[in-house]
Amino acid sequence: MTEIPELTDEQLARAMPARVRRRLIAGKFETGEDIAALRRFVGLTQTGFAAAVGISVHTLRNWEQGRRQPEGPAIALLRIAARHPRIIRENLNSAA
């Protein structure tokens, strides 16, 4: 797997409005689009994001399409992703 380029603070700030990010950090995922927006904010594909947080791509797609909602530990991981996107990206890099 190739190295994932680091995002600058400015790129992160432009990727998601601060009010949406605060809501996601609080664990308030209202729609599947929230999860898709978070994944895009982190800067990963569905495959990459699923691998970085240790879930199947099928599970991630179900969340993003609103067929299922994340629960328990998954919400905790998504909150960490919203607060510290670099950690998620680093986790994928270290797994490669």
pLDDT tens, residue order, the chain (96 aa): 455 566 666 766 666 788 888 888 898 989 999 999 999 988 899 999 999 889 999 999 999 999 999 999 999 999 999 988 888 888 776 655
Tokens standing for residue 47: 């495959």
CA 87 to the chain's CA centroid: 10
Domains and CATH numbers, the chain: 12-95 (1.10.260.40)
User: What are φ and ψ of residue 35, in 5° steps?
Assistant: -70, -40
Q: Residue 28 and residue 43: Cα distance in Å, rounded?
A: 20
pTM for this entry: 0.79
d(CA 57, CA 34): 16
Q: What pLDDT was estimated at residue 92?
A: 73
Helices (H), ranges, 1-96: 9-15, 18-25, 32-42, 46-53, 57-64, 72-83, 85-95
Q: Measured between alpha carbons, how far is 50 from 55 in angstroms, rounded to an integer?
A: 5
